[in-house]
Structure 1
Amino acid sequence: MAQHDELDIQLHKQQAEEATAFLRARLPVLPEVLIQLGTGLGGLAAAMTESISIPYKDIPHFPRSTVTTHAGNLVCGKLAGKPAAVLQGRFHYYEGYSAREVGFPLRVLSLLGVRTAIITNAAGGLNPAWQAGSIMICNDHLNLLPDNPLRGPNVDEWGPRFPDFSQPYSAELRELAGQAASRLGFTEVCSGTYVCIPGPSLETPAETRMLRLLGADAVGMSSVPEVITALHGGLRVLGLSVIANLNDPDKFVPILIEDIVAAAQRAEPRLQELILDIVREL
């Protein structure tokens, strides 16, 4: 088993290096900032200038996104004057990928030299004080996936065997996000803890109560493998969750993915303004 794990990580390392070399040869300017866009949040790439778009399917060893609301493109160019990369769409554990595969784009972009990652998602609200349409600045997370992208032998040149997670989301970036929200006059911006569950089934009322008891303010099925990969690679991370709906276990109503997507799309213009302001101040 140990020999198999060693061969597996060597293949993963080779694939990451090949994907990195492919992008390095094609991008006129290497990105410094990465923004990953989640469900219903794919429009930020339109704000980029001098951009080049590369479908995931054209990048060696990139997974394929099977979710219809995820465009599946890497867009690189200038965003608010900064060299940036936008991942239009992501991969999920529930699609059948391992946590390591989910984090693969973050690994490749860290090898390209990205040092700041802004990870976004659409999430269900668990905090009863919040409203649908709010934007949550993540200050912590819970990983309830039965997997970790760092499982198996460590690649020492990528990062430490046991990375410190005492501050998974950069205090400096969280402060920048709060200042940007104030400048823009956005009042429905909050801070809290995000919990990642495997999915694809949505939460039951009992599961919602459990997640609240664990201390979670919002729940989703993504982002944490990418955050872990980014932190292992030395990036500073900002997490932003659009609270697409509220889960009240005592007045539970059906949760439809179409409603979540629509709510995320309604909040997208504000999220885009917020990200642009943050990137401008980096």
Structure 2
Amino acid sequence: MENRKADYINSRALVPSLKHARRRSIFESFSENLEFIEINCQEIGTDIRTDRNITRAHRSRVGYTFEALQESAQYLLERVPIKPKIGIICGSGMGNIADLVTNRLIFPYEDVPHFPVSTVHGHVGQLVFGYLEGIPVMCMQGRFHYYEGYPLWKCAMPVRVMKLVGVTYLIATNAAGGLNPKFKVGDIMMVKDHVNMMGFAGNNPLQGPNDDRFGPRFPPMSKAYNTKLLDVGAKIAEEMGISDIVHQGVYTCLGGPNYETVAELRMLRMIGVDAVGMSTVHEVITARHCDLTVFAFSLITNQCIVDYEDLGEANHAEVVDVGLSKQFVIQEFVSRMVLQIKEIYSADRK
């Protein structure tokens, strides 16, 4: 009995010290975070005393500063004699679009300040500047994906750099799985709208403090894809004699890298999705935020598996192969679109 009483007394004696230890742990954690913020503030030349400066420190953790993006843009502008008007993002297996560019100047991503690096087969990982149909362009041969370990704001970072070097139109291409049963492998789907599935989970390239120099805090997305350019695309398809393989539809981006389950694909089809990929949506959101005019299309590189009895399986090698097999059709389609944008751009300037 005496031993139990002694144990009880000893345990009671421990309580204040445990509480003290917890408080000390919380205080130390707070101090470490405060020190981290102070270091970040010092790195960007600010003082911690105002809420505005704390916000700037926070920004350094959730996105590029405007100054960092300016450094990337300035590095490029100092080395190219042109200011591109059209930005082109080449999707998986479609890097050959950049082969159309003349007077080319090439910059590997690793040479450009603050740029991420592509790690996926079929994405060369370089910027190509030059002329296409007589208009200055900037091509991304290789993009960045969420599944590579990059946050969405970093995946979409090149779009803001495009804006800073002078781009006003964006052509975004991607390889996608065809979910619409009318689509066949090798078809082209011009994107008329998207479903931001990753955004439903709170994952957005505009997350974090907004920089008004790029765009508003709450940008609308009801007209993300330019309807005039969709009409132009349909006309180009007719002129090329490929109207039977060119469609319009709704695209969605999932995080990857795994391909989708049958149940996931059935759900996506129920909500109106026509094609599924792992890119583009965050780039388009960023582009519209900074007021770029957007045209996007998907090359259907595989048919989505929506039947449990179907023995087929999606694979990346097939995606790249289909891109290569359709390279000349894609090149001509993009080339004609650039020419039409040139005419629209020239007319708008008059």
TM class by shorter-chain length? Answer: over 0.9
* Cα gap change, 1:54 to 1:20, in 2 (>3 Å): same
Work out the CA distance in 1 between the residues paired with 2:267 and 2:63.
39
The residue type paired with residue 136 of structure 1 is M
Q: Secondary structure at the match of 1:35?
A: strand
State whether structure 2 residue 325 is matched by structure 1 residue 266: yes
Work out the CA distance in 2 between the residues paired with 1:31 and 1:153.
28
State whether structure 2 residue 229 is matched by structure 1 residue 173: yes
The residue type paired with residue 139 of structure 2 is V
The answer to whether the 8 Å contact 2:305/2:313 transfers is no
Work out the CA distance in 2 between the residues paired with 1:75 and 1:102.
18
Give CA-to-partner distance per residue, 1:135-172, whole Å, 9 cap, x none: 00000001122411110100001101111111110001
Match of 1:32 in 2: 85
Q: Secondary structure at the match of 2:223?
A: coil
Match of 2:27 in 1: none
Work out the CA distance in 2 between the residues paired with 1:184 and 1:77.
25
Aligned counterpart in structure 2 of residue 59 of structure 1, from 112, 133, 141: 112
The answer to whether the 8 Å contact 1:128/1:248 transfers is no
Work out the CA distance in 2 between the residues paired with 1:215 and 1:5.
37
The residue type paired with residue 293 of structure 2 is R
**Deviation at residue 9 of structure 1 after TM alignment:** 5.8
The residue type paired with residue 265 of structure 1 is L
Name the stretch that deviates more: 143-152 or 94-103.
143-152
The answer to whether the 8 Å contact 2:63/2:208 transfers is no
**Deviation at residue 27 of structure 1 after TM alignment:** 1.0
Work out the CA distance in 1 between the residues paired with 2:217 and 2:96.
36
Work out the CA distance in 1 between the residues paired with 2:305 and 2:265.
8
The residue type paired with residue 318 of structure 2 is D
Aligned counterpart in structure 1 of residue 294 of structure 2, from 215, 231, 237: 237
**Deviation at residue 225 of structure 1 after TM alignment:** 1.1
State whether structure 2 residue 249 is matched by structure 1 residue 196: no
Work out the CA distance in 2 between the residues paired with 1:7 and 1:139.
34
Name the stretch that deviates more: 43-52 or 195-204.
43-52
Match of 1:215 in 2: 272
State whether structure 2 residue 263 is matched by structure 1 residue 206: yes
**Deviation at residue 8 of structure 1 after TM alignment:** 3.2
Match of 1:154 in 2: 210
**Deviation at residue 129 of structure 1 after TM alignment:** 1.1
Match of 1:183 in 2: 239
The answer to whether the 8 Å contact 2:143/2:155 transfers is yes
The answer to whether the 8 Å contact 1:230/1:237 transfers is yes
Work out the CA distance in 1 between the residues paired with 2:143 and 2:85.
19
State whether structure 2 residue 96 is matched by structure 1 residue 43: yes
The answer to whether the 8 Å contact 2:62/2:207 transfers is no
- TM-score under structure 1 length normalisation: 0.96
State whether structure 2 residue 186 is matched by structure 1 residue 129: no
**Deviation at residue 12 of structure 1 after TM alignment:** 2.8
The answer to whether the 8 Å contact 2:176/2:300 transfers is yes
The residue type paired with residue 198 of structure 1 is G
State whether structure 2 residue 315 is matched by structure 1 residue 256: yes
* Cα gap change, 1:10 to 1:43, in 2 (>3 Å): closer
The answer to whether the 8 Å contact 1:72/1:90 transfers is yes
The total of aligned residue pairs comes to 282
Work out the CA distance in 2 between the residues paired with 1:202 and 1:98.
19
Work out the CA distance in 1 between the residues paired with 2:276 and 2:58.
31
Work out the CA distance in 2 between the residues paired with 1:248 and 1:92.
23
Q: Secondary structure at the match of 2:269?
A: helix
The answer to whether the 8 Å contact 1:121/1:223 transfers is yes
Work out the CA distance in 1 between the residues paired with 2:73 and 2:61.
18
Counterparts of 1:85-104 in structure 2, within 5 Å, are: 85-104=138-157
The residue type paired with residue 268 of structure 1 is Q
State whether structure 2 residue 117 is matched by structure 1 residue 117: no
Give CA-to-partner distance per residue, 1:83-121, whole Å, 9 cap, x none: 111100100001010110001110101111100000000
Match of 1:163 in 2: 219
Work out the CA distance in 1 between the residues paired with 2:172 and 2:151.
19
Name the stretch that deviates more: 218-227 or 255-264.
255-264
**Deviation at residue 5 of structure 1 after TM alignment:** 2.3
The residue type paired with residue 328 of structure 2 is P
Q: Which entry has the higher C-alpha Rg, 1 or 2?
A: 2
